[in-house]
Chains A and B, each alone.
Chain A
């Protein structure tokens, strides 16, 4: 069984179907980029994987946990599945350090001293150790997003989900966040990213998935995927975003 396995997943809001018949496998250590137009269901797909959105049909398996099952222990699952959002979502009333230690201390029951060590370690990975006592409103967007990544990393997840994490950033701040992602890729982290950064996807991802109309429309190894798209829809999309 793959590390993440989606089988015929269906997700709808009322009569509006967002995902239909989605099958997707992700192996441990794999880096998969999801691209597609807005509204194609790519963010929803990501959110179904850690149970932020319940599915209406099909199965979602993550590391042996049946996420689609209403009785699934999502708390335990979320400690192992990190997610980083487009809008950072740091806790503005807490310091950077407390943002990071909240999960480990409360969810995992790790002691304060040990959690502080984890926070420093996670901040070192994103290159922001000196901001440990800062508040979110004292940081740039890129720095906030790196702290958000550190907050996820401190939970020691076995997979990280990234939901368009550079889309809300000023262009000059995108690079520093992508550098952090590349470093994580080199360390062998399993990653699933929804992204608009095509160059990044081509360079870092092992596999790229094109979502269209709520379906996995086309997928393949990054090089071939961009060099020789098969479907008309992907060709159209790529020519629109790559000019």
Chain B
């Protein structure tokens, strides 16, 4: 039965933003864990970790995000693992974010000149101490702007979770549209809500770009 678009619908849409944020944060957490491994492997001096990292990134980036979501949601349920949408989406987005964050962070690590390692070695720092005091602080400064930039991508891409039935902002918009048959108004509102999340982050990322002390 079709009804009018009510204030309550708007309220529900705004509430659905929570799930978009929740999924983004879960994916960011999972993706960070994977991304650290990928970055460490990719920047390693040993061949095997480098190959593994490169293989992972190639595999993940070569397959659409939507396909990953289907694999974890529908695929695993066929072989007997019935994952709830939130879990399937979290895993799928983590796999995806891990590859991209890993590449961003690997790039930041290898952007630090070899001479910085050497200067650390020369004053007697161990490998771990060099990473902690010399390399990572500089790499983080390089990595933050593109990481925030990727976070914006991630927020927008969580809308794909709608297709596996996870009720975040986009899915809520679909359901509201089905009930009210007001797609233009509803999706305009959905778009505005995404924009209000993403635009400040984009601006922030720009600010960070301009504030990169000590990185040549």
Contacts and interface: CB of A to CB of B under 8 A. Distances in A.
Contacts of B213: 93, 135, 137
Contacts of A52: 118, 121-122
B124 A78 contact: yes
A92 B215 contact: yes
A85 interface: yes
Given A91-B134, A92-B214, A92-B216, A155 B118 contact: no
A21 B141 CA distance: 45
Interface in A78-108: 78-79, 82-83, 85, 87, 89-94, 102-103, 106-107
A76 interface: yes
B55 interface: no
B214 A135 contact: yes
A106 B129 contact: yes
Contacts of A152: 122-123
17 contacts: A75-B126, A78-B122, A83-B122, A85-B115, A85-B118, A85-B119, A87-B115, A89-B116, A91-B134, A93-B138, A93-B141, A103-B125, A106-B125, A107-B123, A107-B124, A137-B214, A151-B123
A206 B91 CA distance: 68
Interface of A: 50, 52, 74-79, 82-83, 85, 87, 89-94, 102-103, 106-107, 135-137, 151-152, 155
Interface residues of B, number: 20
Contacts of A85: 115, 118-119, 122
Nearest to A95: B214
B124 A89 contact: no
A117 to B, nearest CB: 18
B214 A136 contact: yes
A50 B216 CA distance: 28
Contacts of B137: 93
Contacts, number: 67
B118 A102 contact: no
Contacts of B211: none
Contacts of A106: 125, 129, 133
A219 B49 CA distance: 47
Nearest to B133: A102
Contact of A89 (B119, B133, B214): B119
Contacts of A89: 115-116, 118-119, 122
Contacts of B115: 85, 87, 89
**Considering residues A91, A136, A151, which has the most beta carbons from chain B within 10 angstroms of its beta carbon?**
A91
A192 B95 CA distance: 53
A74 B126 CA distance: 10
A79 B214 contact: no
Contacts of B118: 52, 85, 89
Contact of B124 (A76, A91, A94, A136): A76
Contacts of B141: 93
Contact of A78 (B123, B214, B215): B123
Given A106-B133, A137-B214, A75 B122 contact: no
A135 B118 CA distance: 19
Contacts of A155: 123-124
A91 B125 contact: no
A186 B123 CA distance: 24
A91 B119 contact: yes
Contacts of A78: 121-124
Interface in B96-137: 115-116, 118-119, 121-126, 129, 133-134, 137
A15 B215 CA distance: 37
Nearest to B123: A103
A131 to B, nearest CB: 15
B53 to A, nearest CB: 26
Contacts of B214: 92-94, 135-137
A93 B215 contact: yes
B5 to A, nearest CB: 53
B122 A50 contact: yes
A103 B124 contact: yes
Contacts of A79: 123-124
Please provide the 5 A-B residue pairs with the shortest distance between their CB atoms, ordered closest to farther.
A103-B123, A92-B214, A89-B119, A78-B124, A107-B124
Given A79-B124, A92-B215, 11 more contacts: A82-B122, A85-B118, A87-B115, A91-B119, A91-B133, A91-B138, A93-B213, A106-B129, A136-B214, A137-B213, A151-B123
